[in-house]
Structures are given as C-alpha cells and as structure tokens.
Structure 1
Amino acid sequence: MKLGIMQPYFFPYIGYWQLIKAVDIYVVYDDVNYKKRSWINKNYILINDVAKPITLRTVKVSQNKLINEITLDSDIIHNEKLLKTIKEAYSKAPYFSEIFALTEKIINYKEINLANYLMNSIVEIARYLNIQTEIIKSSELKIREDLKGQERILEICKLLSADQYFNAVGGTSLYSFRDFQLQNIDLTFIKPADITYQQKNHENFVSNLSIIDVLMFNSKEKVNAMLDEFTVLEDFPALVFANHEVK
C-alpha cells in the first residue's frame, strides 16, 4: 500500500496534488506544530501577470500550537474580498465559471478550525478531479505521543500497513532510506516535471502558483494528465547512502 503524508496547505500547488494522486492513502498531517509564514494559510495566484499572495486570516496563532488548534477569523468581509480578488484575476479564464463556483464553495465553508477547513478544501478539490485516494487526518490515528519526526512517520506507516512511503522531493534530507528499509518500507520521492500551460496571454509562464491557477486555465482531463507528470527517484537511495553517515 502506498502512503503519503503532508501538512494541510491553502489551495496548494500542483505538486501537492501529484502526491495525493500517486498514493492509496493520503494523511493530512494536522497534529504537528503550526508554522507562521508557511503555505498552511497562504498561497499565490496570478494578478496582472504577477504572482500575488492570497491568505486565510487566523487568530491567536502560535508555533507552540498544533495546526488543528488554530482558529480562523470568521470575518465574512475578508472572505468576500478574497473571492473578489480571485474573480477579478480569473474572470476571463476558460474554466472560470465552474472553478470559481468550486472556490467560492470552499472559501465559504462554515468552519473555524483551520485543520478541518483545509481538510474540506483538499477533499473538495480531490473530488472535483476524481482522485480516488482515501484521505484521512493524522489526528484520527492512535499515534504514540512520544514519537517525533521520522519515527512518527514510520509509526503512521505501520498503523496503516504501508509498504511504500511517498514524499515530495523536497523532503529527501528528512528521512533515512536505511531506517525505512529496516521496517520493510520502500521510501520513494517524486519530482514534478516542468509543467507549463497557457496563462491568459502571458508570455512568460509563472510557475508553482496555487492549484486555483491550474484549474482556471485547464480542463479537468488535462489537469489529471499533469498530475501524472513526475519522476520517481528510484536510484536516489544509493546517492543518499553515499553522502550521509549510516546510523
């Protein structure tokens, strides 16, 4: 069974969705510490050919709190302004009508717990794209409280009977192939291809924007094809063993 684990992010970029589609079970890692100025409540969309931030407003945030302990600001006016910004940015996009309706539904979801709010957005977009992956929250699992970092990930793998753990290529420094192999789990990293598409009449493609940008300019079928455009780093373990001290 293929397993992926990642913190919940706000309308994350396409690589996040590649990981979700690539696995059988995807765990939304909501019971780890919240990080300020992260992708958890911020992303970027294309406004006048420039990447500009969109954010969720939170209250009383602290990096000593878990993600599922963070509360959203329930200011309706902020959500209205956020939707107006997205509408003005993409009103002429080919798939604006259906994607704006989806975005509006997600942003107006009546939930003040940040983790639950983001979980809903992930499920809604996965459903729109017909991704069949089972999506659960880590807080729903009975994970030993004394475990941290890699050991906690290995524990989740065991609890869900995973024999393959998939992660984004940016996490290669966080894990030991040897430690996973000792638990009979294959550690696999996926590297997104250089994905481009037509953004309005913009000549210079702006990459790694929110999934909102991808969905506004591409059909559901084309987006699904993009989700399969990645490289599996099968030979990477040898490189890691050669460059890291073996425990």
Structure 2
Amino acid sequence: MKVAIMQPYFLPYIGYFQLMKSADVFVVYDNIKYTKKGWFNRNRFLQNGSDAWFSLPLQSDSDSLDVIERKLDPAFDKRKLLNQLSAAYKKAPHFANGFELLRECVEYEESNLFRFIHHAILTTAARLQIDTRVVVSSSIPIDHSLRAQDKVLAICEALGATTYINAIGGTELYSAEAFERRGMALRFIKPRALEYRQFGAPFVPWLSILDLFMFIDENTIRQSVVEFDLIPAQEPDACHAHK
C-alpha cells in the first residue's frame, strides 16, 4: 500500500498529480495551518511570456486558523478571475478544453476554502483519469496534535501503508530509518522534465496544471502524469522541483 500526503493547492503544477498517481491512497490535509506564503489559494500562470500569479481572495480572519476554517471573500469576483485567465490564454491551441476545466473549478458554489480547493483537485484528477483514492486527513483516526514526521507516520500506519511517497522537495524532512522501524519504505517522486510550446516564447516551467490544459491535448497530459521517477530515500543528489 503506497501512501502520499499533500497540502491542498488550487490548480497546482503537474508534479502534484504525479504524486497522486504514484500512490494507492492520497491524503489531503484539511487540518493544517493556512499560511499566506503557501500555495493554498494561489498559483502561477503564463502572461505575456512570463509567469504571473492568480489567486483566490480570502475573507479576513485570524492567521492561526487551519485551511478548513478559512473562507473565500464574499466579494470574490469569479468572472474577473475567469476573464484574467481567459485573456492570457485565449489564443492557446487547446483554450476551450483548458477554460472548461477552469470554469468547472472556479464556478463551484462553495465558500469554504478547503472544500473549494478539494473540489478542484478531484475535478482535475478525474480529467486526468487518476483513480487513486483521495482521503481528507481529519477523517483518519489518529492523534491530530502530532506534527511533522510523527503525524505522517501515524497517518501511514492508520492506512496500512507499506511505502510512503513524498515530493522531492522534502528529502531533508524525513528519516528513512524512522519509516523502516515502522515497517515502511520511504520514497521520493522526481518529475521528469516536460517542455512544450507556449506561444513560441522561451519555455516557462512548472506553472499551474491549467497551463498544460491550454497548450497540450488531454491524452498527452494524462501520459505526462505517469512520467516520473521514484527515488530511494538514501539518494542524496535528487534535485528539487517547484510546486
């Protein structure tokens, strides 16, 4: 049983879905602290040949709240966000397909930040034909006051994991020995380089999955989801990738 765990991100990059595809069970944290500098409600898109940010505006609230406790701003103008991204991608070869996904995610009627993002994750995974079981972290019967590696180990044990797979950026966060003591292997996923034509300008990598849907046909994107390498924990020279 392979388990992967991630924070909830809105329309994240291809590596997020490769991690999901690599696992039998994919856990999405809902009871994790929201941070302004995180990727929860924002991501990058292509604008005039460079990367730019798009974001979901949030209702003002305490910085100590978990993601599940945060809400979208009641004044969130969904049409404005759709128009912003439409203007950036309207000449892309697969604009209609990409914009259909975008609308399905953005027009979802939900004010809770986590549930809004969770819907977008599931919607995108379905389009990519990923059949991994997705579980919300708070539904798992563990001590949720645990933190960092201890919480990951508890989640993996509760789910009966034999292997824990993490994004390549977390190689320094976990101890292979700690997992081995619990009867589990530790692996890291390394996305393979994916480059495609973006209006003929120099390629801008690791943008939101939305960028791929705008420029590449859906079957090719589905194939790219399985193009990754699983690296044993002891390999020290694995490179980092962006979200």
| Distance verdict in 2 for CA 1:102–1:151, change over 3 Å | same
Q: Is contact 1:36-1:62 (8 Å) kept?
A: no
Structure 2 matches for 1:206-217, cutoff 5 A? Answer: 206-217=204-215
TM-score by length of 1: 0.92
Structure 2 matches for 1:1-247, cutoff 5 A? Answer: 1-76=1-76, 78-202=77-201, 204-234=202-232, 236-237=233-234, 239=236
Q: Is contact 2:13-2:208 (8 Å) kept?
A: yes
Q: Supply the AA of the counterpart residue of 2:15.
A: G
Shift of 1:227: 1.5
Q: Is contact 1:58-1:71 (8 Å) kept?
A: yes
42-51 or 142-151, which moves further after superposition? Answer: 142-151
Question: Matches of 2:120 and 2:142 in 1, distance apart?
Answer: 25
SS state at 1:38 partner: coil
Q: Supply the AA of the counterpart residue of 1:3.
A: V
| Distance verdict in 2 for CA 1:238–1:206, change over 3 Å | closer
Question: Matches of 1:38 and 1:146 in 2, distance apart?
Answer: 21
162-171 or 92-101, which moves further after superposition? Answer: 92-101
Question: Matches of 1:44 and 1:114 in 2, distance apart?
Answer: 18
Unaligned runs of 5+ in 1: 241-247
SS state at 1:44 partner: strand
Question: Matches of 2:6 and 2:79 in 1, distance apart?
Answer: 29
SS state at 1:232 partner: strand
Q: Which has the higher helix share?
A: 1
Give the count of matched residue pairs. 237
Q: Is contact 2:5-2:166 (8 Å) kept?
A: yes
| Distance verdict in 2 for CA 1:238–1:57, change over 3 Å | closer
Runs of at least 4 residues off by over 3 Å: none
Q: Is contact 2:138-2:144 (8 Å) kept?
A: no
3-12 or 87-96, which moves further after superposition? Answer: 87-96
Q: Supply the AA of the counterpart residue of 1:199.
A: Q
Shift of 1:238: 6.1
Deviations 1:182-211 (A, max 9, x none): 001111001111211111222x10011111
Question: Matches of 2:144 and 2:203 in 1, distance apart?
Answer: 45
Q: Is contact 2:33-2:65 (8 Å) kept?
A: yes
Shift of 1:218: 0.8
Q: Supply the AA of the counterpart residue of 2:106.
A: I
Shift of 1:61: 3.8
Question: Matches of 1:74 and 1:140 in 2, distance apart?
Answer: 28
Shift of 1:239: 4.4
Question: Matches of 2:131 and 2:195 in 1, distance apart?
Answer: 25
| Distance verdict in 2 for CA 1:215–1:180, change over 3 Å | same
